[in-house]
Amino acid sequence: MIQSKYWWRSLQDKVIVGLAAGATFVVLAPLAAIFGYLVYKGVGSLSWNFLTQIPKPTGETGGGMANAIVGSGLILLIASLIGVPMGIGTGIYLAEFGKKRFGNLVRFTADVLNGVPSIVIGIVAYALVVVTQKRFSALAGGVALGIMMVPIISRSTEEMLLMVPQSLREAAWGLGIPQWRTTLSITLRTASSGIITAVMLSFARVAGESAPLMFTAFGNSYWNFNINQATAALPLQIFYYATSPFDDERRQAWAGAFILILLIVVSMSLVRMVASRGVFKGGN
């Protein structure tokens, strides 16, 4: 008869459960701490000034990050114009046409691109745009962020399109609808909420990036709406102010961080709402 040291094994079991629960607590504690601190410090530092003013000369108080918020918007717009069509197009290609070796090559390359550190992408955008244009610009920043959006959107678009049942496509072809029309009006339409989700997620992801903007958009203390000139960006401004010796600027860093995280949380919640309305909406 086997005698098992059951009390010892039972103790191990309980200890492990405790450790695993403890690990979860330890991991979620910084989450609570970060969000809590952001809200606490950020809300306190928010003011109308902050949202409407541009930075005041060093040492003076009362400036704001209005130009950085708008600048980020400009850069993200350019990034989306570059990244979204390319990403969706690649996703469509991989889902509808790219089943064989070439498709695998593209998929692999997209994964590679996904793993490239954002600062390296910044270097490339610098070489491609800043050097040729001989100046820092919002365009360069948009190119860098756009490149980063492509693999994220492509992967998700492909996944969503593959989830559309083949019978739907075949029904369309059987009716004499050409391939291109089928893909656009039927397949894409069916997967649309999933794709929108992916686009918004990639948007939220690159909205917080500052590394690739450091030597592309570079930053600007003034308003700028010219895409071919250096532009302020919210994450970049947060970085510059975080290490500032001036109290007022550090305070603004927190306010900026609060706005940034607010934007990200809002887009992610929108994503959840869109996604929960179901993958197969519209079209039918």
Partner 1 sequence: MLKQMNGPLLKTKFQPASEVSSPEDQAAAVSRRKTALTSSRFADAAFRYLMLGCALSVLAIVVLIVRELVLSSALSRNAFGLKFFFRQAWDPVNGDFGALPFIYGTLVSALLALFLAVPLSVGVATFTTELCPRKLRSLLSYMVELLAAIPSVIYGLWGIFVLVPILRLYVEPFLAKYFGWTGLFGGPQFGLGMLGAGVILAIMIIPVITSITREVMSAVPTQQREGVLALGSTRWEMIRVGVLRNARTGILGAIILGLGRALGETMAVTMLIGNRPEIAKSLFAPGYTLASVIANEFSEAADDLHRSALVEIGLALFLITLLVNIVAQLMVWSITRGSAARATA
Partner 2 sequence: MGVGIQVNQLNAWFGNTHAVRDIQMDIPANHATAIIGPSGCGKSTFVRCLNRMHETIPNTRVQGTVKIGDTHVYGNGTSAVEIRRRVGMVFQKPNPFPTMSVYDNVAAGLKLNGYRNRRELDEIVERSLRQAALWDEVKDSLKKKSGASLSGGQQQRLCIARALAVEPEVMLMDEPASALDPISTSKIEDLIFELKQNYTIVIVTHNMQQAARVAEFTAFFLTGNLIEFDKTEKIFTNPSDKRTEDYITGRFG
Q: Which residues bind partner 2 (CB under 8 A)?
A: 1-6, 9-10
For residues 2 and 175, which CB has a smaller minimum distance to partner 2 in the complex?
2
- Residue 15: CB minimum distance to partner 2, A: 16
Per DSSP, 209 falls in state -
For residues 6 and 180, which CB has a smaller minimum distance to partner 2 in the complex?
6
234-242 helix and 247-276 helix, angle to the nearest 10 degrees = 140
For residues 7 and 180, which CB has a smaller minimum distance to partner 2 in the complex?
7
43 to 72: interface string for partner 1, x by CB under 8 A: ------------------------------
Q: Which of 46, 69, 198, 238 binds partner 1 (CB under 8 A)?
A: 238
- Residue 19: CB minimum distance to partner 1, A: 6
Segment holding 30, helix H or strand E:
helix 6-45
For residues 3 and 166, which CB has a smaller minimum distance to partner 2 in the complex?
3
Distance CA 221, CA 64 (A): 10
Q: Which does 1 bind (CB under 5 to 8 A by kind): partner 2, partner 1, none?
A: partner 2
Instruction: Enumerate the H helices of 116-174 as residue ranges.
Output: 118-125, 131-133, 138-163, 166-174
> Which backbone phi and psi does 231 adopt, to 5 degrees?
-130, 145
Distance CA 50, CA 47 (A): 5
Q: Which does 85 bind (CB under 5 to 8 A by kind): partner 1, partner 2, none?
A: partner 1
Residue 81 lies near partner 1 (rule: CB under 8 A): no
Distance CA 135, CA 129 (A): 8
- Residue 177: CB minimum distance to partner 1, A: 9
List own/partner pairs for 130-137 with CB under 8 A and 24 or more apart.
Answer: 130/215, 130/216, 133/228, 135/228, 135/229, 135/230, 136/215, 136/216, 136/217, 136/218, 136/229, 136/230, 137/216, 137/217, 137/227, 137/228, 137/229, 137/230, 137/231
For residues 162 and 264, which CB has a smaller minimum distance to partner 1 in the complex?
264
Residue 89 lies near partner 1 (rule: CB under 8 A): yes
For residues 53 and 267, which CB has a smaller minimum distance to partner 1 in the complex?
267
Distance CA 84, CA 94 (A): 15
* Segment contacting partner 1 by CB under 8 A, of 47-55, 63-71, 72-80, 204-212: 204-212
* Segment contacting partner 1 by CB under 8 A, of 11-19, 47-55, 71-79, 187-195: 11-19
